[in-house]
């Protein structure tokens, strides 16, 4: 792997990392960027920002296909700070003028993307669920709009770079292969005066941050569940099938489910082998989050519910009458 100071890539992907570990969405976006770039004759760079970053991270990005890994290293970049990250990336983008810059629609990526768009006076398509490249080599960002009822293709014809944030789990992870790219360290000019606040301590909450994206079985409940007490049936079915629990926004707002269990435009994008939706109407802003599920089962009392137009198997009926017997049957079979 050669080390070279000149950046030549047209598409940049922000390689988000936390405590020395790459976040999956950066690798997912790298795979999609390669898919878009190579037919156009473009190259793809992963942008790694931090301090004393492990060489292993660079090698990992190269092994997933990055043509270049741009490394910005400085003590003031050790922990994420929107001010320092935006200043450095803004300077690099102005200097090397990439055509496209992609970030994950995570808390970090959404914050950083918005700040960079303002600094660079360019557009930003947020929370995308798809990316395309037009014959004119313009980035088309697929975004749910109007309450999630339509999908719009958005592009910025007069500004550069074309920027987008993409939800985790939308794209598949690329396959690892023999690394042929190069590492490009860049100069970082930062002073303590550039940062108006200090990060005193970082505490990580124990949890399963990306469990839903990796789950093979997901049982999700919607507003039709009706109450916290009845939500237990969703938990029980998930337990019986050794699956994870997902939710639409109303159960999260009501406190029946946690924020990190929300699936859809404003939540997580999943691709399980089996998805069972209970009491879910099928609004587009939720369904975009499960569009890559292998098999979808819906349980709803309303035979006209939109989810029945998109599922593989639909059951019309009251979940209170259906789930107890189903859970008991599953448990009996698994015990044998």
- Alpha-carbon span 282 to 205, nearest angstrom: 32
- Alpha-carbon span 73 to 30, nearest angstrom: 21
- At 328, which helix (H) or strand (E)? helix 319-335
Residue 71 burial (C-beta neighbours within 10 Å; 0-12, 13-18, 19+): buried
In a domain, 143, yes or no: yes
Same domain flag for 150 and 251: no
Same domain flag for 241 and 304: yes
Same domain flag for 235 and 163: no
Tell which wins on pLDDT, 45 or 54.
45
Beta bridge partners of 163: 101, 124
**What pLDDT does 4 receive?**
43
Same domain flag for 180 and 250: no
Percent of the chain with pLDDT over 70: 94
How much is the average pLDDT of 32-43? 93
Token pair of 9 as six digits: 């890539």
Look-up of token digits 């936390």 = 18
Same domain flag for 175 and 265: no
Same domain flag for 179 and 130: yes
How many C-alpha atoms does 328 have within 13 Å on its Cβ side? Answer: 5
Same domain flag for 150 and 124: yes
Number of domains in the chain: 2
Token pair of 92 as six digits: 């690099």
Same domain flag for 172 and 70: yes
Give the start-end residues of each E strand in 113-227: 124-128, 130-133, 139-145, 150-154, 162-166, 182-186, 217-221
CA dist list (Å): 36 to 43, 66, 92, 131, 202: 10, 13, 22, 8, 36
In a domain, 203, yes or no: no
CATH, residue 220: 3.40.50.1220
Same domain flag for 74 and 160: yes
Same domain flag for 93 and 238: no
- 3 state DSSP class of 279: coil
Res. 233: pLDDT tops 70: yes
- pLDDT tens string 59-89: 999 999 999 999 999 988 888 989 999 999 9
Res. 1: pLDDT tops 60: no
- Alpha-carbon span 66 to 48, nearest angstrom: 12
- Alpha-carbon span 106 to 126, nearest angstrom: 11
Res. 298: pLDDT tops 50: yes
How much is the average pLDDT of 15-23? 89
| Containing structural domain, residue 85 | 11-194
Residue 218 burial (C-beta neighbours within 10 Å; 0-12, 13-18, 19+): buried
- pLDDT tens string 198-208: 888 877 766 55
């Amino acid at each position: 792997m050669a080390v070279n100071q000149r950046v030549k890539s047209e598409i940049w992907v922000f390689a988000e990392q936390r405590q020395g570990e790459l976040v999956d969405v950066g690798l997912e976006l790298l795979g999609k960027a390669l898919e878009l770039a190579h037919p156009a004759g473009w190259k793809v760079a992963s942008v790694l920002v931090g301090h004393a970053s492990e060489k292993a991270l660079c090698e990992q990005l190269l092994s997933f296909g990055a043509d270049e890994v741009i490394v910005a290293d400085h003590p003031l970049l050790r922990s994420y700070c929107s001010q320092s990250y935006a200043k450095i990336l803004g300077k690099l983008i102005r200097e090397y003028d990439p055509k496209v810059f992609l970030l994950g629609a995570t808390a970090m990526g959404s914050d950083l993307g918005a700040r960079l768009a303002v600094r660079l006076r360019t557009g930003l398509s947020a929370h995308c669920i798809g990316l395309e490249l037009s014959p004119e080599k313009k980035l088309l960002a697929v975004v749910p709009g109007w309450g999630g009822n339509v999908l719009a293709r958005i592009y910025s014809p007069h500004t550069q770079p074309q920027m987008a944030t993409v939800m985790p789990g939308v794209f598949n992870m690329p396959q690892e292969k023999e690394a042929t790219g190069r590492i490009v360290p860049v100069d970082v000019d930062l002073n303590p005066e550039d940062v108006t606040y200090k990060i005193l301590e970082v505490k990580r909450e124990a949890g399963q941050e990306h469990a839903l994206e990796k789950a093979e079985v997901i049982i999700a409940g919607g507003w039709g569940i009706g109450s916290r007490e009845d939500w237990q049936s969703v938990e029980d079915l998930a337990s019986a099938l050794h699956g994870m629990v997902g939710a639409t926004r109303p159960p999260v707002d009501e406190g029946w489910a946690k924020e990190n269990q929300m699936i859809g435009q404003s939540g997580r994008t999943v691709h399980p082998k089996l998805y069972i939706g209970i009491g879910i109407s099928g609004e587009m802003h939720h369904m975009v989050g499960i569009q890559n599920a292998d098999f979808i089962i819906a349980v709803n009392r309303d035979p006209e519910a939109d989810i029945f137009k998109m599922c593989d198997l639909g059951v019309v009926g009251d979940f209170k009458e259906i789930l107890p017997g189903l859970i008991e049957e599953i448990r009996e079979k698994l015990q044998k």
